[in-house]
Amino acid sequence: MTADPRSLNAWRRAGYRLLPGEGFSYLLHLRPAEWPIMTAHTALGFALATGLLPVLSGAHLGTLAWALVVWVVFLNGGTLAINSVFDRDEGDIGYLLAPPPPPRHLFAFSFGLLAAGQALAFTLPAGYAAAYAICFALSLAYSVPPLRFKAVAGVDWVINMWGFGTITPYAGWAATGRPLDLVHGLVLVGFCPLFAALYPLTQIYQFEEDQRRGDRTLALILGMRRSLVVAIAAAVLSFAFFAAAAAIGHVRWWAALGLAIALGAWLRVLAPWYSGHASWTAAQHERGFYAALAAWAVTDVAVLVAFAL
Q: Given CA atoms 256, 260, 261, 266 in this order, what sign does their dihedral have? A: positive
The pLDDT of residue 89: 65
One domain, residues 157 and 214 = no
14 assigned to some structural domain = no
Residue 274, domain extent: 181-309
| CA–CA distance, 66 with 175 (Å, rounded to integer) | 9
| CA–CA distance, 65 with 43 (Å, rounded to integer) | 9
* pTM score: 0.88
One domain, residues 207 and 145 = no
The pLDDT of residue 213: 65
One domain, residues 82 and 214 = no
One domain, residues 109 and 243 = no
One domain, residues 174 and 268 = no
CATH number of residue 220's parent domain = 1.20.120.1780
One domain, residues 175 and 201 = no
One domain, residues 189 and 40 = no
Largest CA distance in the chain: 57
Residue that terminates a domain, selected from 135, 162, 180: 180
Distances (CA, A) of 263 to 198, 207, 266, 294, 298: 13, 27, 5, 12, 9
The whole-number mean pLDDT for each consecutive block of 10 residues of the chain, a chain of 309 residues, reads 69 85 88 91 96 90 97 96 81 74 92 98 98 96 88 85 95 97 97 94 76 72 90 97 96 95 96 91 87 93 94
One domain, residues 200 and 247 = yes
15 assigned to some structural domain = no
One domain, residues 209 and 245 = yes
One domain, residues 80 and 189 = no
67 assigned to some structural domain = yes
Q: Is the peptide bond before 146 cis (omega within 30 degrees of 0)?
A: yes
Residue that terminates a domain, selected from 158, 180, 202: 180
How many residues are there in the chain? 309
> How many domains does the structure of the chain reveal?
2
One domain, residues 187 and 131 = no
Instruction: Report yes or no: 239 and 303 within 8 Å, Cβ to Cβ.
Output: no
| CA–CA distance, 222 with 203 (Å, rounded to integer) | 11
| CA–CA distance, 127 with 238 (Å, rounded to integer) | 24
2 assigned to some structural domain = no
One domain, residues 95 and 38 = yes
Query: Residue 281, Cα to own-chain centre: how many angstroms?
Result: 24
The pLDDT of residue 3: 57
3 assigned to some structural domain = no
